[in-house]
Structure formats: C-alpha cells, structure tokens
Amino acid sequence: MGGIRSLNSLSAPKEIRLPLHNPPKFVFYANRSARKGEGSFLLAKEALEQVGIRLGEARSFASASQLYQAIENAVMDRVDGVILGGGDGTLNLGLPCLLNSGIPLGVMPMGTGNQFARDLNIKDDLAHAAETISAGRVCAIDIGQVGDIPFLNVATLGLTTEIAKRLHLKKVIGRFAYAYAVGEALRKAKPFKVSLTIGNKTDEFEAVQVVVGNGRLHAGPFPVAHDATLFDGMLDTYAITKIDMGLAFRMALRMPLGHHIHLEDVPAYKTKEFLLKTDPPLPVTIDGETTWIEEMRFRVLAGGLKVFVPASFVCPHSEEGP
C-alpha cells in the first residue's frame, strides 16, 4: 500500500544572534534518574565550567515536577540559556517552557539513547556538548505536537510503545535492555486499525506500528524518511502494516538511508498536520514516555525551539553567532 507524500511549503532554520547579558546568564539542570546519574551531573558541570560557561545555578533533580519548576523559573527570569542534562525525556520536559520563549536549549547528553543530541550532531561526549554551547551558535528548529504535548524526536503507537513498557532495566543494563524489550514486544504484538486524516482525505489500514517523526533520525542512526529534517516545517509519518520476515528484511535493507517509506506495505506521509485514530484506542509514546491522549491531532510548530548546535549541524540561511 503506497502512502501520500504531501510536499507543501518548506521552511528553514535560521541561525540566531543572541542578545546576551554581560556576563551571560546560564542555568544547568539535570535529571538525577537518567542512566548516567549524579556522577555525570558533576562531570557535565565541570565540562561547562572548563569552557568558560558561568552557571548562575547548577542542580540535579530526582523529581520531574521540581525540574520542570526550575526550568519555568529560569525562563521567567530571562536567562540566556537553559542547559539540560539527561535523555530525551528530560529534554522533552523543558519544551512547554522553552517553546517560543526565545531562550535557547543547551543539550548535555546524559541518557541512554540521546537521540535528539545525535540529530543535532552533538557527540555522546560531555566535553563536545559543552564546547557546542560555549561556541554560541543557535538555530531555530521545528517541534512536533500531539494534542497539547510537544515532542523533539518521535511519537509512536503500537510496537514501540510495547517496547517502552519493557525498558525498566535500561538504567541497569543500558542498550542491552532494548534487545530484550524488542524481543518481548515482537512476541506479543497484535495489529490494530488505523484511520489517518489529512484535510478531507482519510486512509484506513491495519498496522502494528505507527511512527510520527519531527526530526531526522529515530531508532538510533536511522532516518525517519530519506528527506526528513528538523527544519522543513513537516512531520514524517509511516506505518508498519504487519510482522512479516519478508517485510522486515526489506525494511532492514532500506532503513539506513530512509527509503523504507517507499515500500508497498509501508504507508508514508509528509504533512504539516493530521488526525490519527486507532481501534482499539492506544497510548502514544512521546520521546520515550508513554501517555494517553484523547484526540491524537498531530501538527508541527515550525521554528518553535532555539537550540545550541555545533558547526557541523546544517543550518541554512544562517548568520554568524556572537
């Protein structure tokens, strides 16, 4: 089954010149429950200070609500940058405060997967992440949203949600937890009915997984689609219609370059917004965290987040930062 690929208007990220305080005001907050934990918080703080970043506040939190409150307070205080340490779930926690605030996000990769950092070409290395922030190069990138919940990377239903339920061991055994979780999810996966509406057109099909991507990559190094970016003003969506060894083999061959979306059994879409319904109703996993949303209306918030990026990150129509 082929899908719709709607190629309406594109946007591009813009590198931004920041009006910094003198000296700049930065805060650094970390998730103490991230896999690399308290030890990495101290190493990250040291890495930031070694490149000359003066931290007005540096704290780690065991409570998500306390971490959110600290981010909200920092944004209200109009700091020059909010630096977050943790995985994708920690970064996602700061989105409601940072979206359209004009205050850039600094990423210190301290989680297990660190997918968003990979998408920005930030190495899984605290020194490199600190240098990226210190360099002061900032771009505005797109953010996805389902219901009223924003996301950086992907929102998924079906198989990936079942995998997420089984990742309780990831803090202990790290990436090996994913292999266990995938095996268990595949063993218990069941197809569900999907209704996907773009404008006045609705497609209906059965699937075992639906993936909605905001950025370039998912599931590690694999593109969501061959033309997916963090700055095209579009969401890239595809579905896996069945668990079949033949399809799995064809997916494995095509996913490294993002051409799995051209397979006959992979409905694929590129659009600004759409409505998704499933039967039975299913939870959605957003940047690794699973939740229930009554109406799954997806849309893209083009250029909604400013983020510190390295020189290797392509930022079209840019101007030099300070």
Read off the pLDDT of residues 107-132 as tens digits, 9 standing for 90 and up: 999 988 899 999 999 999 999 999 99
In a domain, 144, yes or no: no
In a domain, 308, yes or no: no
In a domain, 221, yes or no: yes
Question: Which of the listed residues 88, 113, 135 is the one where a domain comes to its end?
Answer: 135
Q: How confident is the model at residue 318 (pLDDT cuts 50, 70, 90)?
A: very low
Q: Which of 179, 251, 181, 185 is nearest to 222 (CA)?
A: 251
Q: Which of 87, 86, 104, 88 is nearest to 41 (CA)?
A: 86
Q: How confident is the model at residue 311 (pLDDT cuts 50, 70, 90)?
A: very high
Indicate which CATH number applies to the domain containing 286: 2.60.200.40
Task: Kindly state whether residues 112 and 177 are assigned to the same domain.
Answer: no
Question: Which of the listed residues 135, 165, 181 is the one where a domain comes to its end?
Answer: 135
Task: Kindly state whether residues 82 and 190 are assigned to the same domain.
Answer: no
**pLDDT at residue number 186:** 56
Indicate which CATH number applies to the domain containing 75: 3.40.50.10330
**pLDDT at residue number 36:** 59
In a domain, 237, yes or no: yes
**pLDDT at residue number 250:** 84
What is the Cα–Cα distance from 275 to 295, expressed in whole angstroms? 8
170 token code pair: 């990831």
Task: Kindly state whether residues 168 and 197 are assigned to the same domain.
Answer: yes
Is the pLDDT at 225 greater than 50, yes or no? yes
Q: Output phi, psi for 26, to 5 deg.
A: -120, 150
Which residues constitute the domain of residue 26? Answer: 19-135
Task: Kindly state whether residues 155 and 105 are assigned to the same domain.
Answer: no
**Average pLDDT of 219-242?**
92
Tokens 């689609």 belong to: 225
236 token code pair: 């890239």
**pLDDT at residue number 182:** 52
Question: Which of the listed residues 81, 105, 135 is the one where a domain comes to its end?
Answer: 135
Number of domains in the chain: 2
Which range, of 19-28, 99-108, 206-215, 282-291, averages the lowest pLDDT? 19-28
In a domain, 9, yes or no: no
pLDDT tens-digit map of 81-104: 999 999 999 999 999 999 999 999
In a domain, 298, yes or no: yes
Task: Kindly state whether residues 95 and 63 are assigned to the same domain.
Answer: yes
Task: Kindly state whether residues 153 and 293 are assigned to the same domain.
Answer: yes
The β-bridge partners of 180 are: none
Task: Kindly state whether residues 127 and 238 are assigned to the same domain.
Answer: no
Task: Kindly state whether residues 182 and 99 are assigned to the same domain.
Answer: no
Task: Kindly state whether residues 63 and 159 are assigned to the same domain.
Answer: no
Q: What is the 3-state secondary structure (H, E, C) of the chain?
A: CCCCCCCCCCCCCCEECCCCCCCCCEEEEEECCCCCHHHHHHHHHHHHHHCCCCEEEEEEECCHHHHHHHHHHHHHCCCCEEEEEECHHHHHHCHHHHCCCCCCEEEEECCCCCHHHHHCCCCCCHHHHHHHHHHCCEEEEEEEEECCEEECCEEEEEHHHHHHHCHHHHHHHCCHHHHHHHHHHHHHCCCEEEEEEECCEEEEEEECEEEEECCCEECCCEECCCCCCCCCCCEEEEEECCCCHHHHHHHHHHHHHCHHHHCCCCCEEEECEEEEEEECCCCEEECCEEECCCCEEEEEEEEEEEEECCCCCCCCCCCCCC
In a domain, 12, yes or no: no
**pLDDT at residue number 155:** 96
Percentage, residues of the chain above pLDDT 70: 80
Task: Kindly state whether residues 282 and 206 are assigned to the same domain.
Answer: yes
Task: Kindly state whether residues 298 and 161 are assigned to the same domain.
Answer: yes
pLDDT tens-digit map of 137-184: 999 999 999 999 999 999 999 887 665 555 554 444 454 554 554 555
What is the Cα–Cα distance from 235 to 313, expressed in whole angstroms? 20
Q: Which of 78, 93, 80, 79 is nearest to 31 (CA)?
A: 93
Residues in the chain: 322
Task: Kindly state whether residues 212 and 288 are assigned to the same domain.
Answer: yes
**pLDDT at residue number 245:** 75
